[in-house]
A and B are shown apart, each in its own frame.
Chain A
Amino acid sequence: MFDALQSIIPTVLFYSAPLILTALGGVFSERSGVVNIGLEGLMVMGAFIGIVFNLTFSDALGSWTPWISIVVATIIGAIFSLIHAVASISFNANQVVSGVAINMLAVGIGVYLTKVWYGKGQTDMVDQPFYTTSIPVLADIPIIGPIFFEGIYITSYIALILAFVAWYILYKTPFGLRLRAVGEHPMAADTNGIKVSRMRYIAVILSGAFGGLGGSVFALTIVSNFSGSTIVGQGFMALAAVIFGKWHPLGAMGAALFFGFAQSLSVVSAGIPLLENIPQVFLLIAPYVLTILALAGFIGRAEAPRANGEPYIKGSR
């Protein structure tokens, strides 16, 4: 049992971190009333930038490279999400359509530039990915230490901490209250002097930043290079985590951990008695089936922010 936990928990954290980060982005965007199907594309962009920056500057920056790479990917993700923001907030475009276009655009740009810059469909492996570490002091605690703090990625803990930060911002600050108000009832918020468009822009840009961060963490911990098939579905799984977590940062974190658990089960299930007989396919589809069940009300009702997906046009009822 102890061995099983020690093999499973670091793996869960490892697979969940990118999902948690991206899902937090989704929570910000959707809480402000902008549907973000484009999370997948934002992750692609983050993965692409993270890998390219890492490959280009690893000689100059040494062991700092992965950290600076994810910061740069965060910034570029934020900028890239502006396209979605402009289309869906300023131009009143259908937000789902715009998100679909973001997904196509990100893969197109990523692979196009990879071919132009590297002359082939995928990049080389990076020299400076993230490595597992043990957290000093904490790893020495008996039982808990080896399970939670040995052989883990620091990025996993950053993701968990950011989830709490996001919760604090959304539920304990005036900014968070305004952001949620804009997503529930933009007209009422507007009447109270909250700038609806500005709040929504900030929320979408935050989702781009988190998506870029999530994508780059995924690329630099799990795959170490970029190609058209680096990100296949992680963004949509993050979106599922947003909904399964009922549009709440901590809920999304829990859902992402659960999905990470399901994913890691398909990797380590062979060693765990009860699970080794379950066909892998059930573990693969579990997150999606559960999301549908959650939406259908079997696992507590999932209620979307009321104005989610509706453009706000000043003066119209």
Chain B
Amino acid sequence: MTSNKKMFGILVPIISVLLGLIAGAIIMLSSGHNPIKGYAALWNGAFGDSYTLGETIRRTTPLILTGLAVAFAFKTGLFNIGAEGQVIVGWLAAVWVGLVIDAPMIIHLPLAVLAGIIAGGIWGFLPGLLKAKIGVHEVIVTIMMNYIALYSTNEIIRSVLTDQKTTSETIPQTASLASAWLQSLTFYSRLHYGILIALLAAFIMWFIIERTTYGYELKAVGFNQHASNYSGMNVSKNIILSMVIAGAFAGLAGAMEGLGTYGNISVMSGYTNLGFDGIAVALLGSNNAFGVVLAAILFGALKEGAGEMPTAAGVPTELVDIIIALIIFFVASSYMIRWAILRFKKEEN
């Protein structure tokens, strides 16, 4: 039974990705494009040279963190759709601290990163509190919080950070994660030190979940709230804690964008989609820290590679969005894949 479970844990994501790519090929064929050319362009766009490689890693960085944000909450049985809003407030807070504080790098940068973490954590705290104390479903609250984050942030950029402009000033060097060394290494891509922070965050999640009592309690609450309650765990506290940590991960993702990739924050007409992609990442990565990193690399490569597809193969970049959406469907419907595998095995015997 356990070996079966482990096998499915690995097989289901792989089969889902393959099915998604096959579906993508069929879509390209039926819209009159050459799928081999399309996927070759995708590959070149993601790993073709040192520049694209740097950009792929740059794009993977926030995806790892939003993936962790969704996965962590999921361990406690919570669905954090609010990663999107947590990213936005984290981004805002990090850039804000980057702009208004004047300090040497050793204080300034950690402070700016911390601001992102705290802002994201606060944005996760409220849904957690409502869930724990009044039993309000976190999905709806986090969706609403996303919009509140989006509109309020835009307003703050326009009337507080700037004088009715759409983009803030660029943060000073002392708060920046950008690295001239990494950039020169990758032919001036926007690769920055954030990837190390993201990998560290993945390690921290693994450590909390697998090696601490806190993690054990968080998981226990996810499995069975009543049993956890009877064995003396504080269910409310664990729910709130889980949402706060999840929000902190997403806020950190926003800080990566603000302090690393862009160095500023602009008025957004819509979502960054980092949070929603984080759901895909967490799902494909089976809510496990290591899986999340792998899934984030896959989606980061798909999204970065997509940029090359229109010029090299005439395929619109949105093909990748369709593929990712289909992969989510296949993983979510893994019931079918499991059934098919079991059936296949039976016939073999």
Give the B-binding residues of A (Cβ under 8 A). Answer: 35, 37, 83, 86-87, 91-94, 96-98, 100-105, 107-109, 111-113, 115-116, 228-229, 232-233, 236, 239-240, 243, 279-281, 284-285, 288-289, 291-292, 295-297, 304
Contact = CB atoms under 8 A, between A and B. Distances in A.
B336 interface: yes
Given A243-B140, A295-B136, A295-B141, A104 B276 contact: yes
A101 B332 contact: yes
B140 to A, nearest CB: 6
Contacts of A101: 325-326, 328-329, 332
A96 B329 contact: no
A232 B84 CA distance: 14
B139 A87 contact: no
B316 A115 contact: yes
A279 B158 CA distance: 12
A83 B329 CA distance: 9
Given A281-B151, A296-B130, A93 B333 contact: yes
Given A103-B276, A288-B144, A295-B136, A232 B270 contact: yes
Nearest to B310: A115
B91 to A, nearest CB: 18
A109 B148 contact: no
By secondary structure, the B interface counts as helix
Contacts of B137: 295, 304
B134 interface: yes
A39 B44 CA distance: 36
A91 B147 contact: no
B8 to A, nearest CB: 15
10 contacts: A83-B329, A96-B81, A104-B324, A108-B318, A116-B31, A233-B147, A281-B151, A285-B152, A288-B148, A295-B130
Contacts of B31: 112-113, 116
A87 B333 contact: yes
Contacts of A229: 269-270
A280 B154 CA distance: 11
B198 to A, nearest CB: 22
